[in-house]
């Protein structure tokens, strides 16, 4: 089974930067869109940024100009560079990807999620 493993969360002061990384591993045939979502306490999970296989990106209005999503197709990774962080960016961040997998000799597309990494922006 394919797994997504995130890293890079932590505590940072307002105005600071963090870089999140996510690596996919397992019986991967190909990976389609990759994305970062976040969920703050008491709120619904929301899309932060996404990137297609060809590199086209999309951002939530709240992070445009501050966050940058990128991917490495050869390494099956996606990253999120977060600059000028605000207290309202505090949330658990989740990596997401649509993955074509080989399971039991048959291929199928699965929507996979990472376990989440905490980002806390506080002075």
Q: Could you read off the pLDDT of 82-97 as tens digits, one per residue?
A: 999 999 999 999 999 9
- Among candidate residues 77, 79, 87, the one with its CA nearest the CA of residue 19: 79
Residues of the chain with pLDDT > 90, as a percent, come to: 94
Which one-letter DSSP state was computed for residue 17?
Answer: -
Distances, alpha carbon 67 to alpha carbons 35, 40, 46, 77, 102, in Å = 12, 17, 15, 17, 33
Q: Which pLDDT tens digit goes with each residue over 7-17?
A: 999 999 999 99
What does the pLDDT read at residue 63?
Answer: 98
Summarize the confidence of residues 64-84 as an average pLDDT: 98
What does the pLDDT read at residue 103?
Answer: 82
- Residues 98 and 113: beta-carbon distance below 8 Å: no
What does the pLDDT read at residue 33?
Answer: 97
């Amino acid at each position: 089974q394919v797994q997504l493993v995130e890293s890079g969360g932590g505590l940072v002061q307002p105005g600071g930067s963090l870089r999140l990384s996510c690596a996919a591993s397992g019986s991967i045939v190909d990976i389609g869109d990759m994305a970062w979502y976040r969920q703050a306490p008491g709120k619904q999970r929301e899309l932060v940024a996404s990137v297609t296989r060809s590199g086209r990106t999309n951002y939530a209005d709240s992070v445009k100009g501050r966050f940058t999503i990128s991917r490495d197709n050869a390494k099956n990774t996606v990253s999120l560079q977060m600059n000028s962080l605000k207290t309202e960016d505090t949330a658990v961040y989740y990596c997401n990807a649509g993955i074509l997998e080989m399971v039991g000799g048959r291929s199928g597309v699965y929507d996979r999620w990472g376990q989440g990494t905490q980002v806390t922006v506080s002075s």
